[in-house]
Amino acid sequence: MPFFKQIGKFIVLFLLGGNISCVSPIFCLYKREIFNEITITSKNFEINAEIISKLLISGRKAVEVPVPLLKRKHGSSKINIKKEVRNYLWLLYKIFKTKYLHLKWQ
């Protein structure tokens, strides 16, 4: 999984530019006025990616603040790797078509 994350980070940096390493952060904080400038269509897990992508594509800046994560002490992850890879590839496609093909985020 770490290899996949590094490739994903590189592709996101390439597509969006700037200093963003993740399009699905744990916590997001936005200024209210940005929502007057962009239209959000997502209603699921990709809403953060849509907001960040549209901000950067429109020329606005985004700042990431690192959040330290602790290792799990109990239990195991229930993440479905195939599903996560598919979702991430879908997000990358949406970023590409929005920025380079000038199509709507749908």
Whole-angstrom distance, CA of residue 44 vs CA of residue 104: 16
Q: What was the pLDDT predicted at 4? A: 67
Choose among 60, 62, 58, 54: nearest CA to 21. 62
**Total number of residues shown for the chain:** 106
Per-residue pLDDT of the chain (106 residues; tens, 9 = 90+): 566 667 777 887 788 876 777 777 777 888 888 889 888 998 888 888 889 888 888 888 888 887 787 888 888 888 888 888 888 888 889 989 998 898 888 7
Whole-angstrom distance, CA of residue 103 vs CA of residue 106: 9
Locus of tokens 């990431």: 64
- Whether pTM exceeds 0.85: no
Whole-angstrom distance, CA of residue 14 vs CA of residue 9: 9
Q: Where are the chain's structural domains?
A: 2-66+76-99
DSSP 8-state secondary structure symbol assigned to residue 68: -
Q: What was the pLDDT predicted at 1? A: 53
